[in-house]
């Protein structure tokens, strides 16, 4: 192909890979003229316009490697006009007329209506969607005759897909669109177009517009959408957008797709809350982890559908705060978030993703579908009662003084209690408490000692051991006697309770027994106390009838 004059902003295609010329000139340390290009596929480049510490040009993409230096003498892919691409993609009358004669088993196949069909295709009759994807279409200026031909062929076209072509300005695209009076859907994905600031003529029929991978900024997008006053659906996926803080979109907009961008906080989109008809917001594969930042936020009052799949949600607080910003959401998609990968119950049990979805349903009372699955009344009942039980289990693990703080993590607690009643909350046990169902709860630690000289010489005492509470006193006495090698008839076991009782004083009864005096009051003030002791009488009574706790002290004596 003949060499083209190269200029900054020019769109080119090299072996099927499209790029934009960002620089024409010399490069330090290299001879001759070089082209600095920004690839649409950012993985093909080697730098971002800065080479050996020198910035030669800036790229639209924020990637580290969208750019390369190329020599101007390249075998660039051939360009096509819109009309050439249209004729190449869709059959022309000449192709049908010169079609090869077909024989079947030596007989000529009858071609009934073939020329009529070819004639209809040549006029694009019955064709309403044009797809001219990646055909190196470049449409700068056309003559009046070409315009009439495009208008004649495309009079019935309602959908046009121009993904990945070589358009340089929006005017080129708009000029084509105005030749299609019935056009309602326009796809410009993968084009790097310059949006002029003097867009005067409207496209009143466009209802669907896709600008994915165009790297347009919010202000440019808003400027383009301003000429589409009846726009209903807008797709802005994969545009490296991190927030939307400027640019008004048409009030007619009902669906907005911001998937595959760099949004981290949902409230960074609050400039879009003013769209009165916005029903669906698709935010799949962003980096969203928070509902709101530190600034006050406005709400998406009309929003009913929200797609949050494959984001960075790691905390239940996100869903607890979501209703404040999106109070009308009834259709939600949340799969692929880190929160569902390591869930545990209040007791520390590992939960599945399905358990996580159940807890999501319970936290959002107005939700009708989750991940495309409709929520039945039974599913909601099970989800909310399960969640209520989990809250109660968490409360049972903290002291009473900390329960209000814990309830602050569960905004739906009060509503759930009103719906299903207050759940039973187990009292928290201290670290030293023993589970009454455990084996340890059925044992008692006894310390046996003696003050008898004859027994004190034995190396067996003092003696501490865990004994079953179901042990009878007779058996206990036998075990002690055998251990000390003393007959059980000669032993006495006395349980020291650790409690004290007052000593009763006996007064002589007489005619003046009821009199009181200072001396008697003084005697009462000097009342004496003695240690309470219980003799363990040999028999079938169990040790548990004498000892309530987990420890006891027994004095061993000779009778």
Answer yes or no: are the C-beta atoms of 503 and 529 closer than 8 Å.
yes
- What pLDDT band is residue 499 in, cutting at 50, 70 and 90? confident
pLDDT of residue 106: 55
pLDDT of residue 366: 97
pLDDT of residue 202: 87
Name the nearest CA neighbour of 240 among 212, 201, 268: 212
Every domain range in the chain assigned CATH 3.10.20.90: 440-504+526-558
Mean pLDDT of the chain: 86
Answer yes or no: are the C-beta atoms of 76 and 14 closer than 8 Å.
yes
Answer yes or no: are the C-beta atoms of 503 and 460 closer than 8 Å.
no
Mean pLDDT of 163-170: 95
Q: Look at residue 502 and give its three-state secondary structure.
A: strand
Q: Give tens-digit pLDDT for 405-450.
A: 999 999 999 999 999 999 988 765 555 556 666 666 778 888 888 8
Specify the CATH architecture of the domain 11-70: Roll (2.30)
Between CA 84 and CA 135 the distance in angstroms is 10
pLDDT of residue 455: 66
Every domain range in the chain assigned CATH 2.30.30.190: 11-70
| pLDDT above 50 for 327 | yes
Name the nearest CA neighbour of 524 among 500, 504, 501: 504
Between CA 133 and CA 505 the distance in angstroms is 111
Q: Give tens-digit pLDDT for 36-76.
A: 999 999 999 999 999 889 999 999 999 999 999 999 999 99
pLDDT of residue 516: 45
| pLDDT above 90 for 331 | yes
Every domain range in the chain assigned CATH 3.80.10.10: 82-100+114-338
Q: Look at residue 26 and give its three-state secondary structure.
A: coil
Q: Give tens-digit pLDDT for 253-265.
A: 999 999 999 999 9
Mean pLDDT of 205-218: 97
Specify the CATH architecture of the domain 440-504+526-558: Roll (3.10)
**Domain range 82-100+114-338, CATH class:** alpha beta
pLDDT of residue 112: 47
| pLDDT above 50 for 511 | no
Sorted by sequence, the CB contacts under 8 Å of residue 120 that are 6+ apart come out as: 126
| pLDDT above 60 for 359 | yes
Between CA 63 and CA 55 the distance in angstroms is 15
The CA radius of gyration of the chain, in Å to the nearest whole number, is: 44
Secondary structure element (H or E) that encloses residue 18, with its range: strand 17-25
CA 466 to chain centre: 52
- What pLDDT band is residue 2 in, cutting at 50, 70 and 90? very low
Tokens 């962003």 identify what position?
286
CA 171 to chain centre: 41
pLDDT of residue 492: 87
Mean pLDDT of 202-212: 96
Q: Give tens-digit pLDDT for 212-255.
A: 999 999 999 999 999 999 999 999 999 999 999 877 899 999 99
pLDDT of residue 3: 47
Read out DSSP for 376-432?
Answer: -HHHHHHHHHHHHHHHHHHHTTS-GGGHHHHHTT-TTHHHHHHHH-PPP-PPPPPTT
pTM of the model: 0.74
């Amino acid at each position: 192909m003949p060499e083209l004059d190269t200029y900054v902003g020019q769109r080119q295609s090299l072996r099927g890979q499209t790029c934009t010329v960002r620089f024409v000139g010399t490069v330090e340390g290299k001879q001759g003229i070089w082209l600095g290009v920004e690839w649409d596929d950012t993985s093909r480049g080697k730098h971002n316009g800065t080479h050996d510490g020198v910035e030669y040009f800036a790229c639209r993409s924020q990637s580290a490697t969208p750019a390369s230096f190329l020599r101007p003498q390249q075998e660039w892919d051939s360009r096509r006009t819109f009309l050439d691409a249209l004729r190449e993609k869709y059959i022309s009358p000449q192709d049908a007329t010169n079609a090869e004669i077909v024989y079947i088993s030596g007989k000529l196949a009858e071609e009934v209506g073939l020329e009529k069909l070819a004639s209809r295709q040549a006029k694009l009759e019955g064709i309403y969607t044009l797809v001219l994807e990646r055909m190196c279409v470049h449409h700068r200026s056309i003559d009046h005759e070409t315009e009439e031909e495009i208008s004649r062929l495309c009079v019935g076209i309602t959908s046009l897909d121009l993904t990945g072509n070589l358009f340089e300005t929006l005017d080129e695209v708009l000029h084509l669109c105005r030749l299609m009076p019935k056009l309602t859907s326009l796809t410009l994905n993968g084009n790097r177009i310059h949006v002029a600031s003097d867009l005067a003529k409207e496209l009143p029929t466009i209802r669907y517009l896709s600008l994915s991978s165009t790297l347009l900024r919010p202000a440019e997008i808003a400027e383009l959408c301003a000429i589409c006053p009846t726009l209903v659906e807008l797709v802005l996926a994969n545009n490296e957008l991190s927030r939307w803080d400027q640019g008004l979109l048409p009030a007619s907009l009902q669906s907005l797709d911001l998937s595959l961008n760099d949004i981290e906080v949902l409230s960074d989109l609050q400039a879009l809350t003013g769209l009165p008809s916005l029903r669906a917001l698709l935010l799949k594969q962003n980096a969203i982890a928070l509902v709101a930042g530190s600034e006050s936020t406005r709400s998406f009052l009309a929003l009913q559908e929200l797609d949050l799949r494959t984001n960075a949600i790691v905390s239940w607080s996100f869903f607890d705060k979501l209703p404040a910003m999106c109070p009308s959401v009834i259709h939600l998609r949340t799969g692929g978030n880190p929160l569902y990968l390591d869930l545990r119950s209040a007791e520390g049990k590992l939960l599945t993703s399905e358990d996580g979805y159940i807890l999501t349903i319970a936290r959002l009372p107005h939700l009708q579908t989750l991940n495309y699955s409709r929520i039945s009344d039974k599913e909601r009942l099970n989800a909310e009662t399960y969640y209520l039980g989990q809250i109660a289990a968490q409360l049972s693990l903290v002291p009473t003084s900390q329960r209000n703080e814990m309830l602050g993590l569960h905004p739906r607690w009060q509503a759930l209690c009103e719906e299903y009643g207050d759940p039973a909350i187990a009292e928290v046990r201290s670290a030293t408490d023993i589970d009454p169902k455990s084996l340890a709860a059925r044992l008692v630690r006894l310390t046996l000692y003696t003050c008898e000289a004859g027994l004190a010489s034995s190396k067996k005492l003092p003696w501490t051991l865990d004994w079953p509470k179901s042990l009878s006193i007779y058996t206990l006495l036998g075990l002690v006697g055998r251990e000390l090698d003393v007959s059980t008839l000669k032993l006495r076991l006395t349980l020291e309770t650790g409690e004290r009782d007052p000593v009763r004083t006996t007064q002589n009864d007489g005619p003046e027994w009821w009199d009181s005096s200072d001396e008697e009051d003084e005697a009462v003030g000097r009342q004496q106390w003695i240690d309470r002791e219980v003799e363990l009488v040999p028999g079938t009574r169990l040790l548990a009838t004498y000892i309530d706790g987990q420890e006891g002290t027994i004095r061993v004596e000779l009778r």
